[in-house]
């Protein structure tokens, strides 16, 4: 997904392609899915950490550690999606301003 978004923005920057609302909708949907996954992984991670504090069970800490290892890349990927979808919004607004002139 990251590669598709990168290639699409690169083609927009070079002027090879015009902005298409379908791509924005597609990447918005992808961003929403990653937000939901990141949110639930974060909640589960916090719950496992609280469970470890209460029970002091090593297996619960292992589950917390696994989720922490997943959560950090999710944050970076969501950050990338968020910023680049915002960039697509800017391209879309620019194209609307140009066509109105």
List, for residues 59-75, the tens digit of each pLDDT value. Answer: 999 999 999 999 999 99
Q: Find out whether 81 and 33 touch, Cβ atoms under 8 Å.
A: no
Mean pLDDT confidence for 46-51 = 96
Q: How far apart are CA 38 and CA 73, in angstroms?
A: 9
3-state secondary structure of 20: coil
pLDDT at 101: 58
Give the chain's length.
Answer: 101
């Amino acid at each position: 997904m990251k590669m598709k978004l990168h290639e699409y923005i690169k083609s927009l920057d070079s002027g090879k392609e015009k902005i298409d609302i379908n791509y924005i909708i597609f990447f918005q949907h992808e961003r929403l899915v990653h937000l939901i996954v990141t949110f639930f992984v974060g909640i589960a991670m916090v719950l496992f950490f609280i469970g470890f504090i209460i029970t002091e069970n090593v297996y619960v800490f292992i589950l917390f550690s696994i989720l922490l290892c997943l959560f950090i890349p999710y944050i970076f990927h969501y950050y990338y999606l968020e910023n680049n979808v915002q960039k697509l919004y800017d391209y879309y607004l620019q194209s609307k301003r140009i066509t109105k002139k």
